Amino acid sequence: MLITAGPTREYFDTVRFISNPSSGRMGYAVAASAKREGHDVTLVSGPVSLDAPVGVELIRVVSAAEMFEASCHAFDTCDAAIMTAAVCDYRPARRLDHKLQKRFQPRAIKLVPTRDIAAHLGSIKEDRVVVAFAMEDHDHRAHAEGKLRRKKCDAILLNGPENVGSDDATVAILESGGEWSRPVSGSKTRIALRVVRMVERLIDVRR
């Protein structure tokens, strides 16, 4: 199984960057759960303050481009990908090779879209399984349902900002062609096990 976790950082000079507050705890919990269930696990992680679960292959990355490259490479030998990472949707169009000096006037930074990792893996998955996470703060289900269709994923977990950095979470799960689950609450370890077992079931259906 391939699992992505944590944030990415998109630098606009040598020291400053755009990012988000993802802690990586959900992805690391999923990786640990998958390993305990007997799977070979590759964890592609953005910058977080967490130790790799025992027995998991950890690939550390910083930017969305690095995560895209590492994920595509790992997916070649995987049966499934669980995309928990909070990848930045945009990056600065240009990264300066020096620190931008402060001036007492506004500055404009042009942003360009990053590549959508889950959507790419969904487009090449064939008989493999791809599960995505959707972090939403309004029109939650509508946005998540749209992402499920566009990214050609097998399931999507609806996440919320209130879960960031916490050991506990509340999510809802939608499988392709199915109905929304009731809210699933508890420790991220508990939710992770449910996700892994769902993926195992989806893999078995494909075989």
pLDDT tops 90 at residue 160? no
* Res 206: pLDDT: 80
**pLDDT tens-digit profile of 97-145?**
999 998 899 989 999 999 999 999 999 999 999 999 998 889 999 999 9
pTM passes above 0.85: yes
Q: Which residues pair with 132 in a beta bridge?
A: 83, 156
Helix (H) or strand (E) holding 155: strand 155-159
Q: Tell me, what's the pLDDT at 193?
A: 97
The DSSP output letter for 104 is: S
In this prediction, residues 186-207 reach a mean pLDDT of 94
Other Cβ atoms within 10 Å of 90 Cβ, number: 14
The DSSP bridge pattern shows strands 80-83 and 17-18 to be unpaired
Q: Taking every pair of C-alpha atoms in the chain, what is the biggest distance, in angstroms?
A: 62
pLDDT at position 203 over 80: yes
Mean pLDDT of 76-101: 96
Where do the H-state alpha helices sit in 42-139?
A: 64-75, 117-124
Question: CA–CA separation, 173 vs 49, rounded Å?
Answer: 27
Single out the catalytic residue among 11, 13, 16, 20. Answer: 20
Give dist(CA 189, CA 48) in Å, integer.
Answer: 17
Distance from chain centroid for Cα 101? 33
Where do the domains of the chain lie, and which CATH numbers do they carry? 2-91+108-206 (3.40.50.10300)
> What confidence score (pLDDT) does residue 165 get?
87
Active site residue 159: no
**pLDDT beyond 80 at 207:** no
* Coil/strand/helix, residue 7: strand
pLDDT of residue 84: 97
**What pLDDT shows up at residue 82?**
98
Residue 157's pLDDT band (boundaries 50, 70, 90)? Answer: very high
pLDDT, one tens digit per residue, over 8-65 is: 999 999 999 999 999 999 999 999 999 999 999 999 999 999 999 999 999 999 999 9
Q: Does the pLDDT value for residue 90 go beyond 90?
A: yes
Phi first, then psi: give them for residue 31, nearest 5 degrees: -60, -45
